[in-house]
Chain A
Amino acid sequence: MITVDDLIFEYPGVRALDRASFTIPQGRIAALVGPNGAGKTTLMRCMAALEQPVSGRVEIGGIDVLEQPRACHRIIGYLSDFFGLYQRLTVRQCLHYVARAQGIAAADCAAAIADVSHGLQIKDRLDQYPSALSRGLRQRVAIAQAIIHKPAVVLLDEPASGLDPEARHQLAELFLQLQRQGMTLMVSSHILAELEAYSTDMLVLRQGRIVEHAVINAPALRKPFRLVLAGAYPQLAETLQKLQGVELVRTDQDRMAIVNLENDGDRQHQVLKALLDTGMPVCEFGPATVNLQDAYLQTLHKQP
C-alpha cells in the first residue's frame, strides 16, 4: 500500500531523510518513532506530497506521489501536528467545507458529516466553534477532516501530543476502528506506550534513516513465541533456522530466542516436539509480547 524507496530530503546543510526505504502493506497501523529531529515530520510531509524531496520514490496505493501529487491527495488523509482548523467556522461548517473540497457532492455532505461525527463522537459539538473545544476534541475534529472522504491511507503526525490518558485511549480505539474499515495508518509519536495499543509495525527513524522496521502485532497468521532454555545451547540460532515454519527474530546469549510461528496449535506443537527431539533443554515456550518501548530502545542501542 505504501512504498517509500531511497527517499532523500535535504535542508540547507542538513540531510533530513537519508535514503529512507520501507513498505507498509494495506490495513496496517505503522508507528513512526524516533528522537526529535529524526525526520518524522519531513517524511510524513514528503509522503503527503507537501514537500519535494531531492530524490527517491513514494508510492501510495499504486500512485507515484511525486509525479501525481493531486491524485495522491484524493486517497490520503493527513493530520498535521497543528490541527489546521478554521476558527471562524463551526465544526459542521469546517467539515462541510472539507467534504466539498475533497470532491464529495453537496447532496452527500450531510451524510458524510453525520457518519464521521458519529464515529468520532463529536455529533453534539457540530455547532460549536473549534476555539471553544478542548484540545482532545479539536484533535477529533481535525481527524474527522482528514478522514471525511474515506481515504485509503491516513498519515497522522503526533496525534496524541497533549492529550490526557483517557483521550489517548479513545484515540487508540479510533485507530483500530479505522483499521477495521480497511484503512492503512501511519502514526508518528514519541509516546511509545500509546502506540503499542494499536500499532502493527514499528518504523524507527534515526538521523533520517529507517534503522528498523519491526512487525509488532502482526494480524496475519504468524505470532511471536519466546523460547527459554535451562542452559546455554551454542547451536540455538542454527537449529532454529533449520526448522521448517520457524522464523528467527533474535537470540540472547544462546539461552533465549524470539521466533515467529504460524498461529496454529498443531504447528506449534510440532515445533516444540522438534525442539525437544534435538535435545535442547527447553524450560519455557509460549507466546511472547513484544514491548514497543523495549524494541525501540534495543534498536537505538544497536545503532552506532
Chain B
Amino acid sequence: MTTNPEFERQLLLECPPARLSSATAVLGTVFAFCYFLDDYRFGSISSAAALGLFWLITLLWGARQSLDSIVDEYRDRTWDTQRLSALDPWQMAWGKLLGSTSMVWYCAGFCLLVYTLAAGQSTDLLRFYFYAIAGGLLVQSAALLLGLLAVGRGQTKTGSILLPALIGFAVVAPQLGDLSEIAGLGSAGFRWQPWYGWQFAQQDFHRFSLLCAVFWCMVANYRLLAQALGLRKPPTAWLGFIVFLVVYLGGLIPSGNFALAMAGFGVCGGLTYLSVVAEPQQPMQIKRLLDYYRQHNWRRVIEEFPLSWLSFALAVPFALYLSANRAHIAWFELSLHSYPLAALLLILRDCAIYVYFCYGKNPQRALNLSLLAAVLLYGVLPGLFGALGLSGLSALFFPLWADSASGAVLYAVLQCAAVLRLLYRRWQNAIC
C-alpha cells in the first residue's frame, strides 16, 4: 500500500468499509435533504450546509482525531512500542496526521464536492480549496502538536487538552474572516500588504503566511517526535523559527528604525513564555545539564539546553538595544512605560515563578498558580497601592509603573533576585 506502516495502521482503524459506507449514507442523506430544500438543485442552502459541515468536520473532528492519534498511544500504553520501532519521526508525523484524519478528509471531500456543485460562478474555487485544505491541515497539525506537548507533560485527557484550544480558536476564528467571503473576493476586494516597504497582494501574503504556519507546525511535530524517539538534535529548528518570526513580524510593524528590534524583543519574550510552559520542567534536567557542563560535554549541553533559556538569551540583545536607544513608549497616556530591560526582567520573574511551582509537590497546578500570581503581581497589588496613592509601592510590584527606567530596572531586579533565590532553594531540595 504505502511505505508508511503508521499511516497504514491508522487507515485500517479509521476507514473500515462499514464506517465508509455509513458516513457516505449520512452525508448523502443530509445533502439530499438540502437538495430538496433548494428546489431540486444545489443552491445556497446546500452551499451553506456543505461549508458549515466542512468546518465542523475538519476543525472539530479533525483536531480531535489528530490529537487522539498521539494521546491514545500514551493512554493505551502502546507509545513505548512505537518509540522502539524503526519508524523515523517524519514517517510518524505524517502517518499520524494524515492517517488519523483519513475518514475526516473523506467526509470533508464529500462536503467540498457539494460546495463545488452549489458555488456560484463568481467563486474562485481554487482559492477556496487552498484556504479550506490548508486551514484544515493547520488546525489538525496544531492539534497533533498540542497532543505531543500534552503527553510530554503526562496529560492524557483529551477534553482538558482540546477544550482550551477550541475556546482559543473560537475567539480567533471570527477575526480571520468568512472563508466564503475570501473565496468570493474578486478584483474589487484587492488590497496591498506592505512588508518592509515592499507591497504584496494581500491575498498572496495570506496564502504565504498560511503555508508558513503549516510548515512550522509540521517542523514542530517532527522535532517533538524526534525527541520522543530519543534523537537528540541542537535547537536549530527553534532558532530558525525565531529568526523567521522576527523577520516576518518585523516587516509588519510600521515603526521605522526599531521595527526589527521591537519584533525581536516581542517574539523572543513571547516565545520564552511559550517554551517555558511547553517544555517539561524537571529539576533533574537542569542537574543533568550542569553535569554535562562540568564534563565539558558541549554537544550535550547544546542538545539539552532549554528552549526557554535560549529564547530569553536572544531577547537580551534586543532589550539592550531598545533601552540604549530609549525606544520606550507611554501607553494609553498612563504612567505605564515599556522599559525593555525591566520588561525583560519581568519575563524572567514570571518564568521563574512558573518553574518554582513546577518543582513543587503538585506540578499539574503550576500554570494555574502562576496565572494567579500574575493577577496579584500585575493587577491586584499595584492597583491596591495605586488606589491608596502609594504609587512607589505600586511600582515595586509592577515596575513598569515607575517614573524612570532605572527605577523600573531596580524594582524588577529586586523581584527577580527574590524569586530566583526561592527557585534555587526549591531546586536544591528537589535534587538532594
Q: Which residues of A contact B (CB under 8 A)?
A: 10-13, 48-50, 52, 54-55, 69-70, 73-74, 76, 78, 80, 82-89, 93, 97-98, 100-103, 106, 145
Task: Known A54-B291, A89-B12, A98-B81; judge A13-B431 contact (CB<8 A).
Answer: yes
State A55–B359 Cα separation when bound (angstroms).
22
**A11 interface neighbour in B8, B230, B284, B288, Cβ under 8 Å:** B284
Task: Known A70-B230, A78-B80, A98-B85; judge A10-B5 contact (CB<8 A).
Answer: no
Q: Closest CB-CB distance, B174 to chain A, in whole Å?
A: 37
* Interface of chain B residues 203 through 249 with chain A (CB within 8 A): 229-231
State A89–B12 Cα separation when bound (angstroms).
9
Complex interface: chain B residues within 8 A of A70 (CB):
86, 229-231
| B87 x A101 contact (CB < 8 A) | yes
State A69–B83 Cα separation when bound (angstroms).
10
Q: Closest CB-CB distance, B288 to chain A, in whole Å?
A: 5
Complex interface: chain B residues within 8 A of A82 (CB):
77
**B230 interface neighbour in A69, A74, A93, A106, Cβ under 8 Å:** A69
**B5 interface neighbour in A83, A88, A101, Cβ under 8 Å:** A101
Q: Closest CB-CB distance, B20 to chain A, in whole Å?
A: 16
Task: Known A13-B430, A100-B8, A101-B5; judge A50-B80 contact (CB<8 A).
Answer: yes
| A101 x B430 contact (CB < 8 A) | no
Ranked 6 nearest A-B pairs via Cβ: A69-B230, A100-B5, A101-B85, A103-B86, A84-B81, A12-B430
B6, CB-defined interface residue at 8 Å: yes
* Interface of chain B residues 1 through 23 with chain A (CB within 8 A): 1, 5-6, 8-9, 12-13
Interchain residue pairs with CB less than 8 A apart (7): A10-B284, A12-B282, A49-B230, A80-B80, A84-B80, A89-B12, A98-B81
State A48–B84 Cα separation when bound (angstroms).
8
B432, CB-defined interface residue at 8 Å: yes
Q: Closest CB-CB distance, B217 to chain A, in whole Å?
A: 24
Complex interface: chain B residues within 8 A of A97 (CB):
5, 8-9
Q: Closest CB-CB distance, B92 to chain A, in whole Å?
A: 9
**B76 interface neighbour in A80, A86, A98, Cβ under 8 Å:** A86
B335, CB-defined interface residue at 8 Å: no
**B77 interface neighbour in A12, A84, A88, A106, Cβ under 8 Å:** A84
Q: Closest CB-CB distance, B43 to chain A, in whole Å?
A: 41
Task: Known A50-B80, A70-B230, A101-B82; judge A12-B9 contact (CB<8 A).
Answer: no
Task: Known A12-B283, A85-B78; judge A50-B83 contact (CB<8 A).
Answer: yes
New contact pairs (5) apart from A11-B284, A86-B78, A106-B1, CB-CB < 8 Å: A10-B287, A48-B84, A50-B80, A93-B9, A101-B82
Complex interface: chain A residues within 8 A of B229 (CB):
69-70
How many chain B residues touch the partner (CB < 8 A)?
33
Complex interface: chain A residues within 8 A of B13 (CB):
88-89
Q: Closest CB-CB distance, A57 to chain B, in whole Å?
A: 13
Complex interface: chain B residues within 8 A of A89 (CB):
9, 12-13
State A249–B84 Cα separation when bound (angstroms).
39
Q: Which residues of B contact A (CB under 8 A)?
A: 1, 5-6, 8-9, 12-13, 76-87, 229-231, 282-284, 287-288, 291, 359, 429-432
Complex interface: chain A residues within 8 A of B76 (CB):
84, 86-87
Complex interface: chain A residues within 8 A of B81 (CB):
84, 98, 145
Complex interface: chain B residues within 8 A of A103 (CB):
86
| A55 x B84 contact (CB < 8 A) | no
State A213–B208 Cα separation when bound (angstroms).
62
Complex interface: chain B residues within 8 A of A50 (CB):
80, 83-84, 230
| A76 x B84 contact (CB < 8 A) | yes
Q: Closest CB-CB distance, B399 to chain A, in whole Å?
A: 33
Complex interface: chain A residues within 8 A of B5 (CB):
97, 100-101
Complex interface: chain B residues within 8 A of A10 (CB):
284, 287, 431
| B77 x A73 contact (CB < 8 A) | no
State A12–B428 Cα separation when bound (angstroms).
10
Q: Closest CB-CB distance, B301 to chain A, in whole Å?
A: 14
Q: Which residue of B lies closest to A106 (CB)?
A: B1
State A86–B9 Cα separation when bound (angstroms).
10
State A76–B77 Cα separation when bound (angstroms).
19
Complex interface: chain A residues within 8 A of B359 (CB):
12
Complex interface: chain B residues within 8 A of A83 (CB):
77
State A80–B1 Cα separation when bound (angstroms).
30
Q: Closest CB-CB distance, B48 to chain A, in whole Å?
A: 36
Q: Closest CB-CB distance, B382 to chain A, in whole Å?
A: 35
Q: Which residue of A lies closest to B4 (CB)?
A: A100
Complex interface: chain B residues within 8 A of A55 (CB):
291
**A73 interface neighbour in B12, B86, B283, Cβ under 8 Å:** B86
**B431 interface neighbour in A12, A76, A85, A98, Cβ under 8 Å:** A12
Complex interface: chain A residues within 8 A of B1 (CB):
106
Complex interface: chain B residues within 8 A of A11 (CB):
284
**B284 interface neighbour in A54, A93, A98, A145, Cβ under 8 Å:** A54
Complex interface: chain A residues within 8 A of B429 (CB):
13
State A11–B284 Cα separation when bound (angstroms).
7
Complex interface: chain B residues within 8 A of A52 (CB):
230, 288
| A73 x B78 contact (CB < 8 A) | no
State A89–B9 Cα separation when bound (angstroms).
9
The residue among B6, B76, B287 with the most chain A CB atoms within 10 A of its own CB is: B76
State A190–B61 Cα separation when bound (angstroms).
45
Complex interface: chain B residues within 8 A of A93 (CB):
9, 12
Complex interface: chain B residues within 8 A of A76 (CB):
84
State A49–B228 Cα separation when bound (angstroms).
11
State A61–B78 Cα separation when bound (angstroms).
26
| A54 x B287 contact (CB < 8 A) | yes
State A80–B12 Cα separation when bound (angstroms).
25
Task: Known A10-B287, A84-B81; judge A74-B86 contact (CB<8 A).
Answer: yes
State A16–B284 Cα separation when bound (angstroms).
12
Q: Closest CB-CB distance, B120 to chain A, in whole Å?
A: 43
Complex interface: chain A residues within 8 A of B9 (CB):
86, 89, 93, 97
State A76–B284 Cα separation when bound (angstroms).
27
Complex interface: chain B residues within 8 A of A74 (CB):
86
Q: Which residue of A lies closest to B359 (CB)?
A: A12
| A102 x B12 contact (CB < 8 A) | no
Q: Which residue of A lies closest to B229 (CB)?
A: A70
Q: Closest CB-CB distance, B16 to chain A, in whole Å?
A: 10
**B86 interface neighbour in A78, A102, A106, Cβ under 8 Å:** A102
